[in-house]
Structure 1
Amino acid sequence: MKKLLNAAFIYMLVGVGSGLFYREFTKLNDFPEGQFTQLGLAHTHLLTLGFIVLLIVLALEKVFTLSATPKLFSWFFWLYNAGVVLTSAMLIWHGSLTVLGEESSKMISGIAGLGHMLITAGMIVFFIALRKAVVRAQGSTSVAPITQP
């Protein structure tokens, strides 16, 4: 649980920091206000996929003890986080190039796509672990039959 809490906290800090970077970097480079850049998407990806999703996973861990299947939980944690970091890094890189008026390459899109695939794989593993935990919890809460005196 502590790993989830720490990761969520780090994503919150980096997410807020990326929003600050977005605002200040565009101002510093006289980028037209309201014009699209992927820097704003990095801010929301980090806060939503990193901070909020991991807080939800933390709550589910508390209720269902998802880490009782440590291999599955570890696969989820590392696949998912690698995907969020990779995707967000590519959004920042692409967005920064846009603000600087530079051309982006297909490589950036490809790597961002790989990040999204890792997020998807992590979520699939997460739901497998969640399903096992829910089934396990249902099995342990069977009610004893009522007997009449």
Structure 2
Amino acid sequence: MRRILNTAHVYMILGVVSGLYYRELTKAEDFTGDSQLGVVHTHLLALGMLFFLVVLVLEKQFGLTGSRLFPWFYWIYNAGLALTVGMMTVHGTLTVLGRESGAAIAGIAGLGHILLTAGLVLLFVSLGKLLPAGSPPAA
């Protein structure tokens, strides 16, 4: 459980720092347009911090870390999120600096999204195995 809480905490810190980076870089470059840099902050807070706080509740309720698939979910999801927000940061920074980004950045970001999806599938399979079969619906 502590690892899940620490993961949420790290994403909270990264989310706040990325918001500061976005504000300071755009101010230093007198940039007023749109870039992916503006949503890195939100992605880290929502898909990182908030998501892992929900996973923490699921762990408390169902013992999620007892599933043999949990480590796979944890590492694949985190790798996907790191790739996704990393490429968003690179692409957004290049946009603010007035430079073009190549197709490789989009490809790596796509790989990050694929890993995020695979991680989510593993999470749902893990949850499905932990729930008792034929459990009555909550009233």
Residue matched to 1:13: 13
% identical equivalent positions: 54
CA RMSD after TM alignment: 1.0
**Alpha-carbon distance between aligned partners in 2 of 1:135 and 1:42, rounded to the nearest angstrom:** 38
Q: Give the number of the structure whose alpha-carbon radius of gyration is greater.
A: 1
| Consecutive aligned runs of 4 or more in structure 1 exceeding 4 Å deviation | none
Residue matched to 1:105: 102
Q: 1:88 aligns with which of 66, 73, 85?
A: 85
**Alpha-carbon distance between aligned partners in 2 of 1:49 and 1:19, rounded to the nearest angstrom:** 15
1:118 counterpart = 2:115: yes
**Alpha-carbon distance between aligned partners in 2 of 1:30 and 1:109, rounded to the nearest angstrom:** 25
TM-score (norm 2): 0.94
Shift of residue 13, structure 1, vs aligned partner: 0.2
Q: Secondary structure at the match of 2:131?
A: helix
Q: What are structure 1's unaligned runs of at least 5 residues?
A: 139-149
Residue matched to 1:48: 46
Q: What are structure 2's unaligned runs of at least 5 residues?
A: none
Residue matched to 2:72: 75
Shift of residue 101, structure 1, vs aligned partner: 0.1
Report Cα offsets for 1:57-100 as digits up to 9, x if no partner.
0001100001111x300000000000001100000000000000
The one-letter amino acid of 1:10's match is: V
**Alpha-carbon distance between aligned partners in 2 of 1:92 and 1:43, rounded to the nearest angstrom:** 10
Shift of residue 135, structure 1, vs aligned partner: 2.1
Q: 1:58 aligns with which of 46, 56, 59?
A: 56
The one-letter amino acid of 1:39's match is: L
TM-score (norm 1): 0.87
**Alpha-carbon distance between aligned partners in 2 of 1:2 and 1:130, rounded to the nearest angstrom:** 19
